[in-house]
Amino acid sequence: MENIFSFQTILLTVAILFVIKTLFSIINKNSKRKLPPSPPALPVLGHLHLLKPPLHQALVGISNRYGPATLLRFGSRPALIISSHTLAEQCFTTHDVAFANRPQLPSVMLPNIIGMTNYGSYWRNVRQIAAVELLSNQRLQASSGIRAREVRDMARQLFQSYNQTERSSGFVKLQLKNFLFELMLNVIMMMIAGRRFCGDNVENLEEMKQYKEAVEGWFELNGGTNIEDFVPIFRMLDLKGVMKRMRVVTDANEMMAQKLIDEHKQEGAENRETMIARMLELQKDDPEKYSNSVIRNICINLLLAGSETSTTTLVWAMANLLNNPYILKKAVSEIDTHVGNERLIEESDMTNLPYLQHILNETLRIYPSGPLLVPHESSKEVTIGGYEIPPGTMLLVNVYHIQRSPEIWDEPTKFKPERFEKGNADKKWMIPFGMGRRRCPGEALAMRKMFMILGTMIQCFDWERVGNKLVDMTEGAGLELPMAVQLEALYCPRQVMIKVLSEL
């Protein structure tokens, strides 16, 4: 027992000395540079003690005090915080290549998240596959029927649930976050593998439940800043078990993806309209580019990137519509005029329903699902706003703060979709999906999914708040900007849509 204790003591001492030596070395190098302003820091922890949840709000306070470019230290890692659109443009235009890398955070890198890999041949390969072979306009048009079927199934389930629920009034209560998250998982999973996570017609319910838990586990462990990523001694000790649990989640996600690939191979992928089938077909001509490992990682990344963020955006959109019934009424009127009441909305209706798109754009402006863009990292020294930024500096762009700037937007905190009418916002600054070469390749898919789901929900059902009070719009802690209080709403079928709903 004494030997074990002595070994742990020696290990802890060596780790602390290493961190202190590294810090002094960095401080000595940076003393010769013109660095951005920075708050007082603590030994070893740096500024981690200032990062109270929600993180983007804590960084707003720091930026308001120290300026639009602030240098923080997350443990031994320098971090540049940008809260100005002019400085953000410098990062993603003039210095786009220099900031094309991602910080190699241990907890995030365990699941081999493609969006977190460094700029290089592997990233270019998977990016090309995603952008051209899976998410191009041509491919999205070809897969529109899959999304339409899932959204119609959602409408049918809501209608049936309403008819089967005992109610004292004309409305039924619905918890929106879980409902929309499961729908989003089904949409993505059907596109990837032709399988559903939940609901009706689920093959092997227990297995799909395990898959769903693996996806949810990743979001649970990445809901905020993990101190293990920035202070090596905490990572080595792993007192909270974050690294261990992440490995379990990683293994579960990889096993899920590999099993789906194996099933496609066994059953024959030729006649299946899925992303896995498409990649397996391409694998025949280029087995190295479309290796099982690449296909597996793309599947995992599509599930993770395409579910939680879109769900969060839709929840905020519904919350704002419930608090602004005149906006909801205007959106319903637009759908009734251009789509009618004899069929459900389709993706091809997007060009005829600009106000519905304005609602989504305004939601993404005021409540971006990623309030801080996915972190970048400098590969060489660059100058931003007159400051010298060392190589290896993590870049965090506070999109939440920028997109609410009164310098860019009138009444920036007011939910006003009309600001996008007649191209009035064309020259305004918004980057909810990122900017530059690391911009999210799934933007078009996300907008199509959210358009279909939100449009169908308000076309088919009337929605009201639970009680007379406004929906609580308090923001919760998490990287995807969740609501602090789970959103509940009351719904009932619109009389003019009952015939269509009855035939689904």
Q: Tokens 């707003």 label which residue?
A: 60
Is the Cα dihedral 349, 351, 352, 353 positive or negative? Answer: positive
Confirm if 88 and 435 have CB atoms less than 8 A apart: yes
Q: Is 495 left (phi over 0), alpha (psi -120 to 50) or beta?
A: alpha
What whole-number distance in Å separates Cα of residue 81 and Cα of residue 119?
21
pLDDT surpasses 50 at 5: no
What's the whole-number average pLDDT of the chain?
A: 87
pLDDT surpasses 80 at 272: no
pLDDT surpasses 70 at 141: yes
Q: Is residue 98 part of a domain?
A: no
Residue with the larger pLDDT of the pair 499 and 12? 499
Is the Cα dihedral 383, 39, 230, 311 positive or negative? Answer: negative
What whole-number distance in Å separates Cα of residue 338 and Cα of residue 334?
6
Check residue 104 and give its pLDDT.
Answer: 81
Burial class (CB in 10 A: 0-12, 13-18, 19+), 379: middle
Using alpha carbons, select from 502, 475, 500 the residue that is nearest to residue 487: 475
Check residue 3 and give its pLDDT.
Answer: 43
Chain segment 45-87, per-residue pLDDT in tens: 899 999 888 889 999 999 999 999 999 999 888 999 999 999 9
Q: Is residue 143 part of a domain?
A: yes
**Of 111-125, 197-211, 377-391, where does the model show the most confidence?**
377-391
Check residue 425 and give its pLDDT.
Answer: 67
pLDDT surpasses 50 at 7: no
Return the ∠ at Cα 403 (arms to 358 and 187), rounded to 5°. Answer: 50
Residue 304 CA to chain centroid, in angstroms?
8
What whole-number distance in Å separates Cα of residue 186 and Cα of residue 294?
22
Q: Is residue 434 part of a domain?
A: yes
Using alpha carbons, select from 119, 104, 98, 100 the residue that is nearest to residue 390: 98
Check residue 4 and give its pLDDT.
Answer: 39
Confirm if 404 and 368 have CB atoms less than 8 A apart: no
**Domain containing residue 379: CATH number:** 1.10.630.10
pTM, full prediction: 0.90
Chain segment 85-100, per-residue pLDDT in tens: 999 999 999 999 999 9
- Contacts of residue 5, Cβ cutoff 8 Å, sequence gap at least 6: none
Is the Cα dihedral 412, 415, 418, 423 positive or negative? Answer: positive
Q: Is residue 170 part of a domain?
A: yes
Q: Which of 10-19, 76-85, 346-355 has the lowest mean pLDDT?
A: 10-19
Check residue 1 and give its pLDDT.
Answer: 39
Q: Give the chain's domain count.
A: 1
Q: Tokens 């529109």 label which residue?
A: 144
Chain segment 440-458, per-residue pLDDT in tens: 999 999 999 999 999 999 9
What whole-number distance in Å separates Cα of residue 400 and Cα of residue 402?
6
Q: Is residue 5 part of a domain?
A: no
**Of 109-113, 241-245, 370-374, 378-382, where does the model show the most confidence?**
378-382
Q: Is residue 271 part of a domain?
A: yes
What whole-number distance in Å separates Cα of residue 397 and Cα of residue 402?
9
Q: Is residue 80 part of a domain?
A: no
Return the ∠ at Cα 108 (arms to 95 and 187), rounded to 5°. Answer: 95
**Of 102-106, 144-148, 248-252, 419-423, where does the model show the most confidence?**
144-148
Q: Which of 29-43, 68-82, 337-351, 461-475 has the lowest mean pLDDT?
A: 29-43
The arithmetic mean of pLDDT across residues 385-395, rounded, is: 96
Check residue 101 and give its pLDDT.
Answer: 94
Q: Is residue 312 part of a domain?
A: yes
Confirm if 250 and 278 have CB atoms less than 8 A apart: no
pLDDT band at 168 (very low <50, low <70, confident <90, very high): confident
Confirm if 377 and 101 have CB atoms less than 8 A apart: yes
Return the ∠ at Cα 316 (arms to 482 and 212), rounded to 5°. Answer: 55
Q: Within 13 Å, how many C-alpha atoms sit on residue 156's CB side?
A: 11
Confirm if 247 and 253 have CB atoms less than 8 A apart: no
Where in the sequence is the domain holding 356, given as residue range(s)?
A: 121-502
pLDDT band at 15 (very low <50, low <70, confident <90, very high): low
- Contacts of residue 396, Cβ cutoff 8 Å, sequence gap at least 6: 59, 79, 80, 81, 82, 372, 373, 375
Is the bond preceding 40 in cis, omega lying within 30 degrees of 0?
Answer: no
Q: Within 13 Å, how many C-alpha atoms sit on residue 83's CB side?
A: 23
Using alpha carbons, select from 44, 88, 87, 80 the residue that is nearest to residue 62: 80
Q: Token pair for residue 484?
A: 């602090």
